[in-house]
Amino acid sequence: MREEQGRVPQTAAIAYRLALRITGRQDRALASLEAAARRSEPTTTAFVNAVRDEARARRSGDPADPTTEPRPASLARVALDDWAVLERVALRGMTPAETAAALGIDRREVLVRLNRGLRAARDCLLGVGQDGDDADTRRLRRLCANLAVGRLGDASGDGQPEPAAASLLAS
């Protein structure tokens, strides 16, 4: 419980920045935090989600900034097209229809990019796909796999196909 109490100021700061980004005004962001706090959500994730919902309800009618915020280094493997959608939906609180209109693409394409972006962001944040995280990668390394070329048994390391072993069956 003490660990949770130590995270409260940090969680509130993150939630406030999110609400400010969505609403665009300090008074609306604070109102969003207060309304979410009255819900008395049991977890930090639920609280941040409640703040996001409250902030979305308090958005100004001003058109959204058309530029996409730069991608953080920790999410470098998220494709730029996917990041443009992910940033608008997750950080600005835009709906898929609003995002489609802002980017000039179909709503269905927004949903596809959002799905890909969320999966890639999850993998980046969890470290999935990094060398040594996958059991198959370790197994291939033990088999002398050359993953850069995508072949097993490249003994010379030159990336060129190696002659096949002589067949035991006569042709």
75, 114: one domain: yes
68 and 47 housed in the same domain = no
Three-state SS at 6: helix
Mean pLDDT is highest, among 103-117, 137-151, 154-168, for 103-117
- pLDDT band with cut points at 50, 70 and 90 for residue 62: low
Which pLDDT value is given to residue 81? 93
Q: Which H helix or E strand runs over 3?
A: helix 2-23
CA–CA dist 7, 4 (Å, integer): 5
Q: Kindly state the percentage of the chain with pLDDT values over 90.
A: 25
Q: What is the pTM of this model?
A: 0.60
Q: Give residue 112's pLDDT.
A: 95
Shortest CA distance to 56 belongs to which of 93, 28, 86, 89? 93
47 and 9 within one domain: yes
pLDDT at 106: 94
Mean pLDDT score, 150-171: 56
User: What's the domain count of the chain?
Assistant: 2
pLDDT given for residue 160 in this prediction: 61
Same structural domain for residues 49 and 77?
A: no
Q: Which domain holds residue 79?
A: 63-153
